[in-house]
Amino acid sequence: MLEIIRIPVLNDNYVWLAHAPDGNTAVIDPAVSMPVIQELKKRHWQLTYILNTHHHNDHTGANLELKKTTKCTIIGPKADIDRIPGIDIALVDGDHFMLGKEKAQIFDVPGHTKGHIAFYFFNSNSLFCGDTLFALGCGRVFEGTMEQMWHSLSKFKKLPRQTNVYCAHEYTQANGIFALTVEPNNIKLKLRMDEVNNKRKNQIPTVPSTLGEEFDTNPFLRPDSTEIQETLSLMDAPLSEIFAKTRYLKDNFRG
C-alpha cells in the first residue's frame, strides 16, 4: 500500500506525495518546490519520481528545480511532451507505471488540456486525476472538446466505488453550491454539502473523496440523472450533450 501525504500549496492546490514500502517516492503535480522539499526532509524520504498529470504551471512549476536537487525522473503525458518541463518518460493510455512494486494504470483523459493523464494505483485504491475530476466538479474544458472531456470522465465510471480521488484543488464547496442548483433534491448531495460546509468552516480539507461519493453527487458524472435532465430541459438527450450544458452552466455560474 502507498502512504499518501497531502501538501496544500498556493491558494487552493493540493500536491500529493506517494511513498511505496520499498522507499520509492513520487510527488504528483508539484506546483512549488519548497513545501515539497520540507515534507520530504521531515519524513527522510528521497524523491524518485515527479508524476505530472498535465502541463499547467500550477502542476509543473517545481519540475526543474526538484529534478536538479533530487535527480528524480519526470513522468508525464505523451500528448503534451513539449510542454512538460524536464520530462523523461512520456505515457499514453493503457501504459503502466511502477512506483516500487505499486503498479499504476495510465488513463488518457484529455479535455482540460490537450494532454492530460490520470494515474490509477489499483492496489492502493488511489486515483490521481489532476484537473480532470474534482470533488463535486470537474476541470474547465480549455483545450479539448466537451465530447472529449465527457469521454475522459466516463473512464472513471468503470473504477471501483471505494477508489480514493486525489484531485489537485480544494474547489469542493464552490462546486457543491453549483451542483445543488442542477440537482436540488439529491439527498446524498445535500448531506454531503452539510459535511463539506462544516469541514471548510474549520479549514479541514475535503479531498480525497471516493469515486462512490462522486458517482452519487457529482453532477458531471450524473448526466443520466432524471432531475438534472429536467433542470436542463434536456430529457433523454445524449449524455455528452447533458454534460456539456452542465459544464457551460458552471462556467457562467456566479454563486
- The residues binding Zn ion (CB under 5 A) are 56, 131
Least distance from Zn ion to the Cβ atom of residue 237, Å: 28
Site size with Fe ion, rule: CB under 5 A: 2
- What are the C-alpha distances in Å from 114 to residues 13, 55, 164? 21, 9, 25
Choose, by CB under 5 A, the member of 80, 108, 131, 214 that binds Fe ion: 131
The minimum distance between CB 173 and Fe ion, in angstroms, equals 17
Q: Of the two residues 56 and 222, which places its CB atom closer to Zn ion in the complex?
A: 56
In the complex, minimum distance from the CB of residue 157 to Zn ion, in angstroms, rounded to a whole number: 22
Cell numbers given for 164: 480514493
**Which string of x and - marks every residue 166-205 that binds Fe ion (by CB under 5 A)?**
----------------------------------------
CB of 139 to Zn ion, least distance (A): 6
The nearest distance, CB 161 to Zn ion, in angstroms, is 26
Closest CA to 88 of 103, 75, 69, 106: 75
Q: Which is nearer to Zn ion, 29 or 183 (CB)?
A: 29
d(CA 63, CA 114) in angstroms, rounded, equals 19
Close Cβ partners of 175 (under 8 Å, ≥ 6 residues apart):
134, 135, 136, 137, 218, 250
Which CB atom, from 35 or from 100, has the smaller least distance to Fe ion?
A: 35
201: enclosing H helix or E strand: helix 187-201
Q: Name residue, grid cell 519548497.
A: 34
Dist. CA 142–CA 115, nearest whole Å: 11
Per DSSP, 189 falls in state H
Specify the residue, 107 or 134, whose C-beta has the smaller distance to Fe ion: 134
Q: Which of 58, 102, 108, 213 binds Fe ion (CB under 5 A)?
A: 58
Q: How far is the CB of 120 from Fe ion (least distance, A)?
A: 19
Window contacting Fe ion (CB under 5 A); options: 54-62, 68-76, 116-124, 144-152? 54-62
Q: What's the CA gap between 232 and 229, in Å, rounded?
A: 5
- Coil/strand/helix, residue 253: coil
Minimum distance from residue 134 beta carbon to Fe ion (Å):
10
Among the residue ranges 55-63, 64-72, 209-217, 242-250, the one whose residues contact Fe ion (CB under 5 A): 55-63
The rounded distance, in Å, linking the Cα atoms of 211 and 246 is 19
Q: Which does 108 bind (CB under 5 to 8 A by kind): Fe ion, Zn ion, none?
A: none
28-40: burial string, b at 16+ Cβ within 10 Å, e else: bbbbbbebbbebb
170 binds, among Zn ion, Fe ion, none (CB under 5 to 8 A by kind): none
Distance CA 29, CA 58 (A): 8
Residues that bind Fe ion (CB under 5 A): 58, 131
